[in-house]
Chain A
Amino acid sequence: MRLTLEAIESLQAVPDAIARLLRLIPLVAMLAAAITPAAFAMESLASAPLLLAAWHMTSGTFLLIFIIVAGLTYLVLKFHREVESRRYAERAAHDSRDQIEISVAAANLGLWDWDPVTDTVWTSDHCRTMLGLTGGTTMPREKFLDCLQGEERALAEARMKEAMITGRQCEAEYSLLQPDGSTQWIASRATPRSRRGGKPDHLLGVLMDITSRKQAEQEAVEQRKQLTHLTRVSVLGALSGALAHELNQPLTAILSNAQAARRMLSHKRYDISEIRQILEDIMADNMRAGDIISHLRSLLRKDELARRPVDMNQLIDGVLAFSKSDLVLKGVRVTKDFCTDCAMIEGDPVQLQQVLLNLFVNAGEAMNQMPMSEKSLHIVTEKTRAGHLRVSVTDTGEGISDSNLQFLFEPFHTTKALGLGLGLPICNWIIMAHGGQLFAQGNPGGGATFSFDLPLPIEVANEDTESSRVFG
Chain B
Amino acid sequence: MRTPSPLVYLVDDDPSVLRAVKRLLTAGGFDTKAYSDPALFLAEHNPATPGCILLDMALPGLSGIDVQSKLAATAHRQPVIFISGENNVPATITALKGGAVDFLLKPFDETVLLAAVRAAIARDAVTREEEAEAGDIAARLAGLTPRERAVFARVIAGRLNKQIAADLQIVEKTVKVHRARVMKKMGARSLAELVRLAYKYGLVDKEVASGT
Contact = CB atoms under 8 A, between A and B. Distances in A.
Nearest to A270: B27
Q: Is the interface of A mostly helix, strand, loop or mixed?
A: helix
B205 interface: no
B17 A253 contact: yes
A269 B36 CA distance: 29
B23 A278 contact: yes
Interface residues of A, number: 33
Contacts of B28: 263
Interface stretch (B105-113, B128-136, B145-153, B185-193): B105-113
Nearest to A240: B86
Which of A263, A274, A278 has its CB near the most chain B CB atoms (within 10 A)? A263
Interface string B104-124: 001111100100000000000
Interface stretch (A117-125, A243-251, A378-386, A460-468): A243-251
Interface in B86-110: 86, 88, 106-110
Which of B21, B27, B59 has its CB near the most chain A CB atoms (within 10 A)? B27
B20 A260 contact: yes
Interface in B1-35: 13-14, 16-17, 19-21, 23-24, 26-28
B59 A255 contact: no
Given A328-B59, A331-B63, A281 B19 contact: yes
Given A248-B107, A263-B27, A329-B58, A253 B20 contact: yes
A264 B210 CA distance: 59
Nearest to B91: A329
A260 B58 contact: no
Contacts of A435: none
Given A248-B107, A249-B16, A249-B106, A256 B24 contact: yes
Contacts of B21: 252-253, 256
Contacts of B61: 333
Interface string A263-284: 1100100000010001001001
Contact of A251 (B19, B88, B106): B106
A256 B32 CA distance: 14
Contacts of A251: 106-107
B54 to A, nearest CB: 12
A241 interface: yes
A245 B57 CA distance: 10
Nearest to B28: A263
B211 interface: no
A248 B66 CA distance: 22
Interface string A215-256: 000000000000000000000000001101110111111111
B143 interface: no
A251 B16 CA distance: 10
Given A251-B106, A267-B27, A256 B58 contact: no
A285 interface: yes
A281 B86 contact: no
B93 to A, nearest CB: 15
A232 B82 CA distance: 32
Given A253-B14, A328-B58, A245 B85 contact: yes
Interface in A259-307: 259-261, 263-264, 267, 274, 278, 281, 284-285, 288
- Interface range, B side: 20 to 34
A263 B22 CA distance: 13
Contacts of A138: none
A252 B107 CA distance: 4
B86 A256 contact: no
B23 A257 contact: yes
Contacts of A362: none
B158 interface: no
Contact of A249 (B57, B60, B85, B110): B85
B108 A263 contact: no
Nearest to A284: B16
Given A245-B58, A263-B27, A328-B59, A252 B88 contact: no
B114 to A, nearest CB: 9
B27 A260 contact: yes
A245 B86 contact: yes
A325 interface: yes
A288 B84 CA distance: 19
Given A241-B88, A263-B28, A281-B20, A255 B58 contact: no
Given A241-B86, A253-B16, A260 B107 contact: no
Interface of B: 13-14, 16-17, 19-21, 23-24, 26-28, 57-61, 63, 66, 84-86, 88, 106-110, 113
5 contacts: A242-B86, A249-B85, A256-B24, A257-B24, A329-B86
Which A-B residue pairs are the 3 nearest by beta carbons? A245-B85, A263-B27, A260-B23
Given A244-B85, A255-B109, A263-B28, 10 more contacts: A245-B58, A245-B85, A249-B17, A252-B21, A254-B20, A257-B20, A259-B110, A260-B26, A325-B58, A328-B58
Interface of A: 241-242, 244-246, 248-257, 259-261, 263-264, 267, 274, 278, 281, 284-285, 288, 325, 328-329, 331, 333, 372
